[in-house]
Amino acid sequence: MEYEEYDDELGDQYGVMLNLDPETRVWEVKARGNASMLMFLLLDVSEQSLMNKLFEEAKFDQLVANMGEIGDGTSDGES
């Protein structure tokens, strides 16, 4: 997707867009709204929140980067 197309997708609307480059796994976050709405979106940790989505993706990236190691460095199922 061209940057200009992505840039115009929110238009005048409030909201958040996540864009993932599947080759690099680099995320781009674009948000538009008043300060209180943006603060709520950034602090929200509910199941469907932006922070929860990024947390899940970060866990996946760590798992792939460590080739099977879980967050504390212990391998799943190995002693």
> Quick one: pLDDT at residue 1?
43
Tally of domains in the chain: 1
C-alpha–C-alpha distance, residues 68 and 9, integer Å: 37
Is 74 within the bounds of a domain?
no
Is 13 within the bounds of a domain?
yes
> Quick one: pLDDT at residue 44?
92
CA 22 to chain centre: 13
**Full-model pTM:** 0.61
Is 72 within the bounds of a domain?
no
> Quick one: pLDDT at residue 38?
92
Beta bridge partners of 18: 29
> Quick one: pLDDT at residue 75?
56
Is 34 within the bounds of a domain?
yes
Residue 8 belongs to domain spanning: 3-65
Contact 55, 42 (CB under 8 A): no
Is 57 within the bounds of a domain?
yes
Is 79 within the bounds of a domain?
no
Is 71 within the bounds of a domain?
no
> Quick one: pLDDT at residue 56?
92
C-alpha–C-alpha distance, residues 10 and 13, integer Å: 5
Is 30 within the bounds of a domain?
yes
Block means of pLDDT (10 residues each) for the chain, length 79 residues? 53 84 92 92 91 91 74 55
